[in-house]
Amino acid sequence: MEKNEKTQVIAALVENKPGVLHSVANMFRRRDFNIESITVGRTEQEDLSRMTITVKGDEKTLEQVVKQMNKLIDVVKVTRLEPENIVTRELALIKVNVPDNKSRSDVINCVDVFRGRVVDVSPETLTIEITGTPDKIDAFLNLMKTYGIMELARTGLTALSRGVRSIRIEE
């Protein structure tokens, strides 16, 4: 990371309709901002979706990211989540190479330590589900490298504020 750069998690409530992801992604590209990860899903309010976007940048850039997002008509609310006050999670599915019993039991031990789950088994592979902060997932992946990762799917980070704080829009 360059000097003064930090990682920021941004939560946005957006209208749940076609084209919204396009306009958000387009704005990031057009303004030369970089999305580290993005997750999108429906919320408890039917007409709204929630985007969790991780961005890297200096303070001035992050401020612009939020302001430019706010300008988009389909974006209803944007907040920078305070890093010390959020719960973040990411889910990863990892297919690991386990040609023999020794490596198979070693991997299963690691999965237990990381509180993951084995979700699929074949004679030569294990597919593991692991949930946690991105750091935890990185650590687990590092361990698995020695066995050979055949395939990896990460969801990207999602986050909520701790306590009563929320970005919910009261109707």
Partner 1 sequence: MTKMSGAKALLESLERQNVDVMFGILGGAVLPIYDLLCKSKIRHILCRHEQGAAHAADGYARASGKAGVCMATSGPGATNLVTGIANAYMDSSPLIALTGQVPSGGVNTSYMIGRDAFQEADIIGITTPITKHNFQLRNAAEIPKTVKTAFYIATTGRPGPVVIDVPKNVQTEVTEIDFSNGIHIPGYKPTSNPHPLQIRKATEMLAEAERPVILAGGGVIISNASSELLQVAELLLAPVATSFMGKGAFPETHPLSLGSIGMHGNPVANKLLCEADVMLAVGTRFSDRATGRLDNFCAPTKKIHIDIDAAEIGKNVDVDIPIVGDAKKALQELHERLAKQLKKKKNTAWTKRVKETKEQLNPRSKGASKDLKPKALLQALRKLLPENAIATTEVGQNQMWAALYFNTLKPRTFISSGGLGTMGFGFPAAIGAKVACPDRPVVDIAGDGSFRMTEQELGTSVTEDIPVIVIVLNNSVLGMVAQWQRMFFKGRYSAVKLGSVPDFVKLAEAYGAQGFRARSIAEFAKAVKTALKSDVTTVIDVPISMEEDVVPMVPPGCGINEQVGDY
Binding mask 141-170 for partner 1 (x = CB under 8 A): ----------------------------x-
CB 130 within 8 A of CB 140: yes
Q: How far apart are CA 34 and CA 50, in angstroms?
A: 19
Distances (CA, A) of 59 to 8, 123, 142: 10, 50, 31
Instruction: Tell me how far, at minimum, the Cβ of 4 lies from partner 1, in Å.
Output: 15
| Interface with partner 1 (CB under 8 A), residue from 58, 63, 124, 138 | 63
Instruction: Tell me how far, at minimum, the Cβ of 1 lies from partner 1, in Å.
Output: 22
CB 121 within 8 A of CB 67: no
Piece of the chain touching partner 1 by CB under 8 A; list 2-10, 11-19, 98-106, 107-115: 11-19
Q: How far apart are CA 1 and CA 55, in angstroms?
A: 12
Instruction: Tell me how far, at minimum, the Cβ of 37 lies from partner 1, in Å.
Output: 22
Kindly state the tokens that stand for 94: 């990892």
Q: Which of residues 13-32 bind partner 1 (CB under 8 A)?
A: 14-15, 19, 22-23, 26-27, 30
